[in-house]
Amino acid sequence: MAVAASTANNNLLVVQQIPLAKPSSALHQKLCSKKSVLRPTTPASLRSTTTRPKHPTLFPRLPNELLLVLLETMPTTQICTMRRVSKTYAALGSLVIAKRIEEQLQELAVKDVELRAALAAAQAEFGLHLDHYKQFLRGVTPSDLTEALWYSNPPEELRAICECLCRLKGLPPAAAAPAAPATSLRRRNATTTTTALRSSSSSSSVHASPRPSSATLSSPSSAGLTSLQPLPWSQIKKHMGRYEFKTWLLNLQSNVDHIPHSSIRVVEHIIMIAPDINYDHVRDVSLAGYRLLILVAACLQYANINHDLKAKAAAATKVQRTMENYKRFVAETTALDKPPVLVTDEMIALAAEEN
């Protein structure tokens, strides 16, 4: 058995050492090759620490002094954008923004004091005048309106006074610009100027108090007033005969606060170009028209003073609101404990406008 096993091993060795006559393919030669090509491997320690090279930074690393000089030349909107780059830019940008708005706040504080003082002085001076003119609006009697509407063809002075009341009340859209005859008395004398109401009668108590200097009568040459057409009496009579107009006239003491300033300017223009509208002449023409003229004059004086006081109060309120917006803007954009916020156009328009 040992001889048989030895003979079998010798035969197997002979078979394994027999070379191939013709290799079948290059693949067969590759597989039969004793050389093994191994790819170089990277050690695990090097593989874990190897990283890609960083991209070069888009912003130069300049000293903080130079960055401050650069940021000071930028608008506020660009500074807010630069603050989102890095913490360094955020801190430096916050300094520039805080400095700018601090200067604005100092100017606004001085302006706020001046506006408050002007408002207080105007209220002290003209506050009593408002009460004075409102006294003439308390004694409205329906009989004066009834007497004025009784006319089928009233005098031109009475028609103009009633038109003033209609325009103070407000006209429907269809009656805003009616056609008028070319031979109207007021249109024939449109270029004639007479004494204003407040100087037409020295004995009238309606004009005993002065008006603010900025509340002067509007010029007849203002845009939109020169093409104003007078209302026909039929339309005025129809408008004044309505129940809502009578209710408005009886409550004129409270309704005078809601008259638009544009209507006040239109009524002033109508009175200024009318040659015969003054207290003495209207009293001789119609006693009801005289009483209605007193109401119109009281509305004009009250509305002009009230408009000036409201304008001063609105200016003071606007400055205070701007100061609050500036402070809120600084608090939101310069806070370092939270990421920089994206400044919107609304925020810039409210509190960070460039002068």
Is the pTM higher than 0.85? no
Q: Contacts from 278-286 at CB under 8 Å and sequence distance 24+?
A: 278/194, 278/195, 278/197, 278/200, 278/201, 279/197, 279/200, 279/201, 279/204, 280/200, 280/201, 281/157, 282/157, 282/158, 282/161, 285/155, 285/157, 285/158, 286/147, 286/148, 286/154, 286/155, 286/157, 286/158
Q: What is the pLDDT along the chain (355 residues), one digit of tens a residue?
A: 444 455 545 544 444 444 544 555 665 565 566 555 555 555 555 454 555 555 555 555 777 778 777 787 888 778 777 777 787 777 787 788 778 888 888 888 999 999 999 999 988 888 888 888 988 888 788 888 899 989 889 999 999 999 999 999 988 665 554 444 434 444 434 333 333 333 333 334 444 444 444 434 444 445 566 677 889 999 999 999 999 999 999 999 999 999 999 999 999 999 998 888 899 999 999 999 999 999 999 999 999 999 999 999 999 999 999 888 888 877 776 665 555 555 555 555 555 444 3
Domain boundaries, the chain: 64-116+317-351, 135-315
